[in-house]
Amino acid sequence: MTDLVEHALATEEAADPFRLAGREFTSRLLLGTGGVPSLDVLARAVAASGTQIVTVALRRVDPGARGSLLDVVESAGVRLLPNTAGCMTAREAVLTAQLAREAFETDWVKLEVIGDEDTLLPDPFELLDAAEQLVLDGFQVLAYTSDDPVVCRRLADAGCAAVMPLGSPIGSGLGIRNPHNIALIREQVEVPVILDAGIGTASDAALAMELGCDAVLLASAVTRARDPERMALAMRHAVEGGRLAQRAGRIPRRFHAEASTPMQGLPEL
Partner 1 sequence: MRLTVNGEPAELPEGTTVADLVAARAEDHRRVAVAVGSAVVPRSRWAGTVLTQDDVVEVLVAVAGG
Give the three-class secondary structure for 170: coil
- Nearest partner of 22 among 140, 151, 185, 180, judged by Cα: 140
Q: Is 8 in the site for partner 1 (CB under 8 A)?
A: no
* CA-atom Rg of the chain in angstroms: 20
With the C-alpha atoms ordered 50, 53, 55, 56, is the resulting torsion angle positive or negative?
positive
Phi, psi of 266 (to 5 degrees): -70, 125
> Least Å distance between CB 178 and partner 1?
22
DSSP labels for 83-130?
Answer: B-TT--SHHHHHHHHHHHHHHH---EEEE--BS-TTT--B-HHHHHHH
Examine the residue annotation and report whether 230 is marked as an active-site residue of this protein.
no
- Alpha-carbon gap, residue 253 to 111, rounded angstroms: 37
Q: Which of residues 22-51 bind partner 1 (CB under 8 A)?
A: 32-36, 42
Interface with partner 1 includes 59 (CB under 8 A)? yes
Asked if residue 103 binds partner 1 (CB under 8 A), the reply is: yes
CA–CA–CA angle 182, 188, 189 (5° rounding): 95
Of 28, 44, 101, 110, the active-site residue reads 110
How many degrees, rounded to 5, is the angle at CA 249 between CA 247 and CA 255?
Answer: 155
- Tell me if 106 contacts partner 1 by CB under 8 A: no
Q: How far apart are the C-alpha atoms of 11 and 5, rounded to whole Å?
A: 10
Q: What span, in angstroms and rounded, lies between the C-alpha atoms of 151 and 119?
A: 18
Decide if residue 172 touches partner 1 (CB under 8 A).
Answer: no
Distance CA 156, CA 205 (A): 23
Could you tell me the smallest distance in angstroms from the CB atom of residue 119 to partner 1? 17
Applying CB under 8 A, the span of 92-100, 153-161, 185-193, 247-255 interacting with partner 1 comes to 92-100
Taking the complex as a whole, how short is the minimal distance between the CB of residue 57 and partner 1, in angstroms? 3
Q: Which residues pair with 193 in a beta bridge?
A: 163
Rule CB under 8 A: is residue 98 a binding residue for partner 1? yes
CB of 91 to partner 1, least distance (A): 8
Residue choice 68, 75, 116, 187 for contact with partner 1 (CB under 8 A): 68
User: Which of residues 51, 52, 55, 140 is near partner 1 by CB under 8 A?
Assistant: 55
Is 103 or 150 the residue whose CB approaches partner 1 more closely?
103
Binding range to partner 1, per CB under 8 A, among 104-112, 120-128, 185-193, 252-260: 104-112
Site for partner 1 in 205-244 (CB under 8 A): 219
- State which residue, 143 or 184, has the beta carbon closest to partner 1: 143
Q: Which residues are catalytic?
A: 110
Which spans of this chain sit near partner 1 (rule: CB under 8 A)?
32-36, 42, 55-63, 68-70, 80-83, 85, 95, 98-100, 102-104, 110, 112, 219
